[in-house]
Amino acid sequence: MDLLKILVIGSGGREHSICWKLAQSQLIDKIYCAPGNPGIAQEAKCEITSIAVLDFQAQVEFCEQKKISFVIVGPDNPLACGIVDYLQQNNIKVFGPNKQCAKLEWSKIYAKEFMMLNKIPTAKYLIGNGYNDALAKLKANPWLKVFKADGLCYGKGVYVANDNNDSSECINLLYQNALNKDNQAQIVMEEKLCGIEMSLFLLCDGKQAYPFYTSQDYKRRYDHDQGPNTGGMGAYSPHELYADWNQLIEKYIIKPINNNFHNAQFDYIGILYVGIMLVKDSTKNELIPYVLEFNARFGDPETQAMLPLLNSDLAYLCLNAINGNLNQNMITWSNAKSIAVVTVLNQYPNPTQPSIITNMPEETNNFKLFQAGTVRQNDQLIAQSGRVIAAVAFDYDYTQAYHIVYNKIKEIKYNNIDYRKDIALHLVQS
Ligand code: AMP
Ligand code: GLY
């Protein structure tokens, strides 16, 4: 077989970790990333190209010109806009779900209907058909505490009522901020579940979903889960409870998903990310994994935490997923544990002045940096926006990984750097 040439779409830390992992594959000759970032440009076999993630026609032309073997799509937005359908119509192979399958992410209402149809445990809900209807339904149903915009909102589409924030205020905020005052927009309104969260990643080949791996991400901006939701401030992998819960997750979540795949010709290819809450059901006195959401892609920063632990060849897995030939034995992991900590500019999630990065720690065989919100200008690396760098340590246990990552991250130097200090802290032994 000729060596593979791959095009990765995206520019974040997730795409950096995908490119880095692909570069280790013996099957691969060349990795292009559009538009990529300065960190990706430095990886072996990698080259960045300035094609935008939504410029599908330019991507097709690039694939034809470079004889790309297949494309891997990182972010949600091009998936929701039909990148997979477009590339496939042009005879280009893609690792990622088509627009209809990706609807599990881009419509929360569709995701809820999918769960109801397939009897997958999920929070009780009602649909708000516009602002006035949402408020009226809330009045009649005071148990509604969680409010979600139907479409993609880049991490800003969910409001959960708490002590400082009552339900009607959540509805106001959702319509004002995430929905740009579109008072006709539909929303999902849910009961609030309490439990432990877990991110489960399934690898799908159009016929079946196979457990890939697990992680825990930290969505809140500040330590001890304070402050606003963000794209993700850190993650560790694997999730420490998966071994205890995998049979229940198989029974309540993976089996029904696979029944749907078989019965409904749901030819999902790529990663299906399942956001789970492990809940103690008081009425049944049973522990049940509930699905909070689906995403049609790898998580960010969960991917940066997971991929350093993957023993299998990522290119081989993607190729077999595209060709409908996966099996569980192909997916193997090291026993190590990893922790990813994301650095930001301190005003994040609000924008701040960019700042020059004056020092980066050395990478080792158990420590890696994945760049996201960086740009290179006149030979200087700049912390430009949002999440800047994911520092990832992987070692034989969480304690060791924690000490490595927090010792090394101190060496990253730019003005107004900030990061959470408590990623995986509960797993650290003193
Ligand atoms: P989602 O984008 O649906 O995962 O929601 C973002 C975050 O909101 C989740 O990671 C949870 O922390 C929280 N969340 C979502 N749905 C619920 C729910 N029904 N009950 C409690 N928390 C929730
Ligand atoms: N870490 C959350 C996400 O990727 O959506």
* pLDDT tens, residue by residue, 116-141: 999 999 999 999 999 999 999 999 99
CA–centroid distance, 194 to ligand 1, in Å, is 10
Rounded average pLDDT over 302-308: 98
Cβ 302 under 6 angstroms from ligand 2: yes
pTM: 0.96
Are 18 and 95 a contacting pair, CB within 8 Å?
Answer: no
Looking at all shown ligands, the one closest to residue 237's CA atom is 2
CA–centroid distance, 57 to ligand 2, in Å, is 27
Whole-number Å distance between alpha carbons of 315 and 19: 10
Cβ 112 under 6 angstroms from ligand 1: no
pLDDT (0 to 100) of residue 178: 87
- 28 pLDDT above the threshold of 90: yes
CA–centroid distance, 21 to ligand 2, in Å, is 19
Mutate which of 167, 292, 295, 302 for ligand 1? The one with the most ligand atoms within 8 Å of its CB, which is: 292
Cβ 295 under 6 angstroms from ligand 2: yes
Provide the 3-class DSSP secondary structure of residue 25: coil
Torsion of CA 244, 201, 302, 41, to 10 degrees: 150
- 263 pLDDT above the threshold of 90: no
pLDDT (0 to 100) of residue 165: 72
pLDDT band per the 50, 70, 90 thresholds, residue 281: confident
Cβ burial, residue 427 (10 Å; 0-12/13-18/19+):
middle
Cβ 300 under 6 angstroms from ligand 2: yes
Cβ 289 under 6 angstroms from ligand 2: no
Cβ 193 under 6 angstroms from ligand 1: yes
CA–centroid distance, 66 to ligand 2, in Å, is 31
- 144 pLDDT above the threshold of 90: yes
Domains along the chain with CATH numbers: 4-98 (3.40.50.20), 126-190 (3.30.1490.20), 194-330 (3.30.470.20), 337-427 (3.90.600.10)
Number of other CB atoms surrounding residue 132 within 10 Å: 11
Residue nearest to atom 15 of ligand 1 (CA): 292
pLDDT (0 to 100) of residue 272: 98
pLDDT (0 to 100) of residue 5: 98
pLDDT tens digits for range 55-100: 999 999 999 999 999 999 999 999 999 999 999 999 999 999 999 9
